[in-house]
Copies of this chain bind each other. A is one copy, B any other.
Amino acid sequence: MAEKLEMVKNKQVLLKDYVSGSPKESDFIIATDKKISLEVPESSDNGVLLKNLYLSCDPYMSLLMPKPAYSTFEDGSSHYTPGSPINGYAVSKVLDSKHPKFKKGDLVWGITGWEEYSLIAAPDSLFKIEHIDIPLSHYTGLLGMPGMTAYVGFYEVCKPKKGEKVFISAAAGAVGQLVGQFAKLAGCYVVGSAGSKAKIDLLKNKFGFDDAFNYKEEQDLDAALKRYFPEGIDIYFENVGGKTLDATLLNMKVHSRIAVCGMISQYNLDKPEGIHNLASVLFKRIRMEGFAVYEYYHLYPKFLDLVLPYIRENKITYVEDIAEGLENGPAALVGLFSGRNVGKQVLVVARE
């Protein structure tokens, strides 16, 4: 006779209904009525039971909220389902495991539910956290998906050369702050744009950007870019799309590169803004390339080899914007789309 499993309460953040336009806090429900066993069920072959510690708030998540038919987003993530918990990258602790790669007590990062505990039926894509001298929350950012995104986009897609001029939009965000530091370490000149004085201060005084500007204070983005890049831009790390992209296209140098990492300003519009200056791609022989970090995860060990020494020697720093508690998850997530976060937006569910 099967032993009766002990069940615990499992708080969750559910999608209320498919979202149109920018997500609002009211698009989510905090559910407190669900229970979960803290053991992997007998019926599971390879499952792990996770206690979720740090949840990552990432812009791509808004692409999983509209009705699937309206979205052109294709990746490993599945669309969110109304009435079910949303999911995203997180740092979690293994409470129970039937998977040979993981054992109780392991720390992992990867995709999990927005809830206190998650049963992951196929945990192969989770990364085991081996270096615990680094703050655990950094595995949602610096040493997680956004860190790998910065690494792949800058080194693999842009192929930087010493002395090149680099422009980064959303430069104080989870990815941008790291791209800027990589670019400085590679001997490039780096300017970032962001949307508040606090962010500009961070870029200039904490992350070591050569310069930075608040795009909201610029009447003419083309003129702003000409001020910082009188000879043009070699590398544009694109996080925002829209007007910033259009102005940047006018300032790209011959044989320059645009790594398209994100277009956060366009994700939640009914009709994306028109880009008028694409002829620059022709006239300047620009290579513009989209990429998806999950196609490069085989490079994660190489990334760690590069970045861990930099972190331990204090040559790279990382700023997080910490929200506390699942209840505050919707607000933290929604804030990404108005640029409210300063640095990487993390949500703490539990600290251990």
Contacts and interface: CB of A to CB of B under 8 A. Distances in A.
Given A274-B274, A275-B274, A276-B273, A283 B245 contact: no
A263 interface: yes
B292 A245 contact: no
A276 B271 contact: yes
B278 A241 contact: yes
Contacts of A290: 280-287
Interface residues of A, number: 36
A77 to B, nearest CB: 12
Given A271-B276, A278-B272, A74 B284 contact: yes
Contact of A72 (B73, B250, B287, B289): B250
Contacts of A245: 278
Contacts of A291: 285
Nearest to A280: B72
A273 B274 CA distance: 8
A231 to B, nearest CB: 13
A192 interface: no
A78 interface: no
Nearest to A262: B282
Interface string A242-285: 00010000100010000011110011000111111111111111
A42 interface: no
A276 B272 contact: yes
A295 interface: yes
A290 B288 CA distance: 9
